[in-house]
Structure 1
Amino acid sequence: MKRTPLNALYVADAISLTGNAIAQLAIPWFVLTTTGSATFTALVVFFNFLPIVIAAFFGGVIVDRLGFRTTSVVADLASAGAVAAIPLLHLTVGIELWQLMILVFVGALLDAPGATARAAVLPDMVELAGIRMERASGIRGGIQQGALLVGAPLGGLLVAAFGATNALWLNSASFLISAALVSFFVPRPGANAEEEAPGRFLAELAEGMRFIWNERVLRAVVLTVLLTNLLDAPFPVVMAVFAEDEYGSATDLGLMYGVFGGAALLGALAYSAVGHRLPRRRTFVGCFAALPLVYLAMATRPTLPAALVALAVVGFAAGPINPLIFTVLAEVVPTHLRGRVFGAVRAGAWAAIPLGILVGGALVGTIGVAKTFLVIGVGYSAVVGYGFFNPAFRGMDRSRSEGKIES
């Protein structure tokens, strides 16, 4: 019974993330096939990521004030309504591009605090269950990747069979199920001795930022992920154009996402099993070093089987990265700051994604898919190469000995 709340949280994440994976394929495909414009497609994806940055940064204070469980439930219910409005409008009066952008923006704005809240409550559920944080983080990472594995091919099939907007009904339903699971099975965390009465909003926000700034390893992680996410940001746009140009099918696009997600799932589960034995810095830098390979491979415009092989190799290397980062965060961040710090780290890591989406869409339209992949691959190699020489990442191994480790 001690593991029931943790398992419920895992299932809630799995269902919600699967719905999001469907939406991340369905919305860009709808815009691309409707307008024929990579730039408009990038613009809609931009409006999906921009509010995540805003809400994650400012919403962390709300998460800490309302409580992790309450914020998760309320955010999921609100997101369900925003997402359901897209297919509802399309089926009744029709939906314009500007309306779609607004609803995508609102849905993402509401979803971000819920995701932060579920992440913030996880360490308490892990402690209640009595398992290692590496194991729990690896399972959580596996669920995140598994959602892509299931959601992307399912999204491709749904889009091909029923249309892009109709596929969004499942995304709306996923939020409702997630809210119900957290509400019924995840207990409210007990009072924390370090918890203080709410103060001014900006002062509380600044407290979380100071904590990140004073932790050298957190600063280094945020900067690295910010830069790599800037380069990764055009991926949905470039891959959608690539799939249409080379293979001509949403199903093939979903298959490529699914292979990447399946390999990343295996990588995350491998970290769950053996992560507590691995040197964190070497694992982190080594896994990141493999990621540019997928862009360099795609620049050659490979056949579908060759593309799937490249995505599988890089996906496996990507799998342990987020679980490792989350393990470090869970060890070093105090409970009363989790909402602010987790939210600010997420916002900092994702801050460049909206810019990357727009730049990537413009690059595809200007220089083509192959050259865009090549530019991203070269830039990615430069960023991750610096990680081998950055001493701040040694703090990852120190946090293991200084932080609280569950046995």
Structure 2
Amino acid sequence: MSRRPFIALAIAETLSISGTRLSGVAIPWLVLSATGSPVLTGLVAMTEMLPYVVAKALGGPLIDRFGPRRIAIICDSASVIAVGLVPLLHLLGLLTMPILLPIVFAMGVLRGPSDAAKQSMVPDIAELASVPLERVTGVVGAIERLASIAGAAGAGALIALVGPSQALAVNALTFASAALVAAIGIPTLPPAPKAEAAGVSAYGRELAERWHFMRRDAVLVAIVLMVAMTNLLDQAYFAVLLPVWTQDSGHGPALLGSLFAVFSGASMIGAAIAALIGDRMPRLLVYAVAFLLTGFPRFLVFALDSPLTLIFAILAIGGFASGFLNPILSAVLFERTPKPLIGRVTSLNAALCWALLPFGGVVGGALVDAWGPSAALLLTGLAYLAATMAPFAHGSFRGFDRKKLADDLLCS
């Protein structure tokens, strides 16, 4: 019943996610300001996200075998070196696109298993703290949003002060701190049962086992399809469309960071409320309405080049609604996943949800080049609206509110 592991996980998550959000603003701005090309900006985003997704998908058996704590510490520690190379090489005058691309690739390879490992700790941490799963996932969601505020706002200020490449030095420090906190504050969690076998063939069987489990669950399949599409469109928005709109409107990185911070700040409030009342909410209704509010209006106000006051208001509403999404999704996933498969299924679920995300930047860049930022924002927003209608039309989502025991699913 100790709260210490939960506090340590919360701090490690805050540090890790804030660093990731910082690089998510700094790297696109670095490429856009150096090249002026939305397509190259999207290509760099894809170079990070594609290995992120693949590494997250393939890392599940390793998390179950060696434990999530060890994987998180190793990956966060290695991220310090990868991220730290960018400001170092820039300082030496050696940073070019051919050098930046493999560094960004390495960042993606390391971040995928690290994020999956931290997520797979949640059920054990909830059990140690003796609190409802919805409450823990809600608190984790609020932490993610808080870290996003710090990372986005800090990115805008740091980029304006020292430039995008040197701002990544702070990114390296956050990953080092996250690894240290996890090493000191989180106990060694036992490997998942049936995860002791070694060898390539056993590894392949473990990957296949989690795939067969997931595809038999209609609720999880429906979630993956919907979230994968919205993640693709969100990546186009965050990595290309919003930076291009900010630059074309005559604003600088400080405004870009503020836009991210307002959305994340409101989302943190929504996630905090979800943590308090999550176990009493009608899940499907809240999920569907939240997605409608967080999607299309956000794209529309930028497409219409609305006043900043209206833009910030819409971002606050959409951010607040988005705070309810991850706590619900995480609770559904953990309830429906047997403990022996937690690491593998959560990593596969996350990887599938993010499967289209690496291409979002390229899609956004291509749309901007073809039709300009306003039309690109409108088209992307309409596609987002279509995707968010899925809970109203797809019958599989009706199982959202039914709490089916994970062990029953494993045996069915």
- What is the TM-score of this pair, normalised by structure 1? 0.96
**Are residues 1:328 and 2:332 paired?**
yes
Q: Work out the CA distance in 1 between the residues paired with 2:107 and 2:362.
A: 20
**Are residues 1:388 and 2:378 paired?**
no
Contact 2:19 2:171 in 1 (8 A): yes
| Counterpart position of 1:289 | 292
Secondary structure class of the residue paired with 1:165: helix
One-letter amino acid matched to 2:224: V
**Are residues 1:220 and 2:216 paired?**
no
| Counterpart position of 2:41 | 41
**Unpaired segments ≥5 residues, structure 1:** none
The alpha carbon displacement at 1:302 in A equals: 1.1
The alpha carbon displacement at 1:23 in A equals: 0.7
Matches within 5 A, 1:112-123: 112-123=112-123
Secondary structure class of the residue paired with 2:165: coil
The alpha carbon displacement at 1:400 in A equals: 6.3
Q: Work out the CA distance in 2 between the residues paired with 1:186 and 1:395.
A: 34
Q: Deviations over 1:318-374 (max 9, x none)?
A: 111111111111112122212211111111111111222211111112211111111
Secondary structure class of the residue paired with 1:166: helix
Q: Work out the CA distance in 1 between the residues paired with 2:154 and 2:20.
A: 12
One-letter amino acid matched to 2:323: G
The alpha carbon displacement at 1:153 in A equals: 1.2
Matches within 5 A, 1:166-185: 166-185=166-185
Distance 1:142 1:77, change over 3 A: same
Contact 2:64 2:191 in 1 (8 A): no
Contact 1:87 1:168 in 2 (8 A): yes
Contact 2:335 2:405 in 1 (8 A): no
Mean Cα displacement is larger for which, 394-403 or 243-252?
394-403
Q: Work out the CA distance in 2 between the residues paired with 1:109 and 1:402.
A: 30
Q: Deviations over 1:38-58 (max 9, x none)?
A: 111111111121111110111
Q: Work out the CA distance in 2 between the residues paired with 1:403 and 1:391.
A: 23
**Are residues 1:15 and 2:18 paired?**
no
**Are residues 1:275 and 2:278 paired?**
yes
**Are residues 1:100 and 2:103 paired?**
no
The CA RMSD measured in Å over matched residues stands at 1.6
Distance 1:402 1:30, change over 3 A: closer
Matched pairs, number: 404
Secondary structure class of the residue paired with 2:2: coil
- What is the TM-score of this pair, normalised by structure 2? 0.95
| Counterpart position of 1:72 | 72
One-letter amino acid matched to 1:348: L
| Counterpart position of 2:256 | 253
Contact 1:79 1:108 in 2 (8 A): no
Q: Work out the CA distance in 2 between the residues paired with 1:93 and 1:372.
A: 35
Secondary structure class of the residue paired with 1:95: coil
Contact 1:243 1:249 in 2 (8 A): yes
Q: Percent identity?
A: 36
Q: Work out the CA distance in 2 between the residues paired with 1:191 and 1:23.
A: 32
Contact 2:68 2:117 in 1 (8 A): yes
One-letter amino acid matched to 1:215: D
| Counterpart position of 2:269 | 266
Runs of 4+ in 1 over 6 A off after TM superposition: 400-404
Q: Work out the CA distance in 2 between the residues paired with 1:133 and 1:109.
A: 29
**Unpaired segments ≥5 residues, structure 2:** none
| Counterpart position of 1:317 | 321
The alpha carbon displacement at 1:395 in A equals: 1.8
One-letter amino acid matched to 1:317: A
Distance 1:403 1:253, change over 3 A: farther
The alpha carbon displacement at 1:247 in A equals: 3.8
The alpha carbon displacement at 1:193 in A equals: 5.0
Q: Work out the CA distance in 2 between the residues paired with 1:108 and 1:172.
A: 14
Q: Work out the CA distance in 2 between the residues paired with 1:106 and 1:235.
A: 23
The alpha carbon displacement at 1:382 in A equals: 1.3
The alpha carbon displacement at 1:200 in A equals: 2.0
| Counterpart position of 2:207 | 205
| Counterpart position of 2:186 | 186
Contact 2:302 2:311 in 1 (8 A): yes
The alpha carbon displacement at 1:307 in A equals: 1.1
One-letter amino acid matched to 1:350: W
Distance 1:191 1:253, change over 3 A: closer
| Counterpart position of 2:374 | 370
Distance 1:192 1:75, change over 3 A: closer
One-letter amino acid matched to 2:46: F
Contact 2:226 2:390 in 1 (8 A): no
Q: Deviations over 1:135-175 (max 9, x none)?
A: 11111111111111111111000000001111111111111
